[in-house]
Amino acid sequence: MDVVSIQPLGTPTWIDLGVPDVDRALDFYGAVLGWEFAGSEEYGGYTTCLLRGRAAAAITPEFDAAGGPAWRVFLATPDCDGTVRQVRQSGGEVLVEPTDVLDQGRMAFARDPSGAVFGLWQAGAHIGCEVVNEPGALVRNDLVTPDPQRARAFYAQVFGFTLDGNADMPEADFTFLRRPDGHEIGGIMGAPGSRPAWATTFEVAGTDEAVDRALAHGGSSEGVHDFVYGRLATVTDPFGAQFSLITRPGP
């Protein structure tokens, strides 16, 4: 699916990964997801990951040395400064104040009251992911946290999300997040003892085959399993960053 316009408030619109060895990361993710790459010295080695020639994600040499490499999600906002004010008013912490990224857009980083970090992106020349919801592309982001109640209240207040239970997974403490227009943008999973973080899931044409490619290129996985929404696996890349792969059921 091609994305050609700026996304509404709260929509996961961009993802990136900071690693200590960009070349090795390009080799790994190129093999697993079929990406090609366009580097840019102008942006300090920030490398765009391309699927069908369209921006799908980015890999950068900048990463949190204390927290370790991890995929970061950026939520769309038409007004980065205004959303930052709402983050503070709703009990969140602003880690990086709104900053212009040349002509590409305006960004900030925040931490929600449950401890999960996320980015904000006010699009300029860069609208975010230009391809989603197909093999090799981002298919969803979900917040996993040991404190789901505080997180749900926070995101509903900041972004105007509605919160819906999941009848397909009654045993799970999972809530869908929906924009005011009803569009589902992700969910919040309560997981006692977990490290609060936004999880990234990529679609693939065959989960087993993609996991095999990950293992062959230095990644690890505890295996593949079927669940209600498809065939799923969690993978850890060579740097310790986790992500999920899913093959969704056919029509």
Assess whether 207 and 167 both reside in one domain.
yes
* CATH code for the domain in which residue 160 is found: 3.10.180.10
Assess whether 235 and 167 both reside in one domain.
yes
Assess whether 117 and 25 both reside in one domain.
yes
CB neighbours of residue 180 within 10 Å: 12
At residue 112, the pLDDT reads 98
At residue 42, the pLDDT reads 56
Assess whether 116 and 25 both reside in one domain.
yes
Residue 162 reports pLDDT greater than 70: yes
Assess whether 101 and 180 both reside in one domain.
no
- Please give the mean pLDDT across all residues of the chain: 95
| Mean local confidence (pLDDT), 208-232 | 97
52 domain-assigned: yes
Residue 41 reports pLDDT greater than 70: no
Assess whether 21 and 107 both reside in one domain.
yes
Q: How many domains does the chain have?
A: 2
Assess whether 111 and 177 both reside in one domain.
no
Q: Of 237, 246, 176, 172, which is closest to residue 206 (Cα–Cα)?
A: 246
Pairing assessment for the beta strands 138-145 and 162-165 based on DSSP bridges: unpaired
CB neighbours of residue 184 within 10 Å: 13
Cα–Cα distance measured from residue 210 to residue 203, given in angstroms and rounded to the nearest whole number: 10
Range of the domain at 199: 138-247
Assess whether 115 and 31 both reside in one domain.
yes
CB neighbours of residue 206 within 10 Å: 14
6 domain-assigned: no
Residue 219 reports pLDDT greater than 90: yes
At residue 96, the pLDDT reads 97
Tell the residue number behind the tokens 């005011």, with chain if given: 180
Assess whether 108 and 150 both reside in one domain.
no
Question: H-helix or E-strand containing 122?
Answer: strand 117-123
Assess whether 216 and 147 both reside in one domain.
yes
129 domain-assigned: no
Is residue 186 classed as helix, strand or coil in its secondary structure?
Answer: strand
pTM of the model as a whole? 0.95
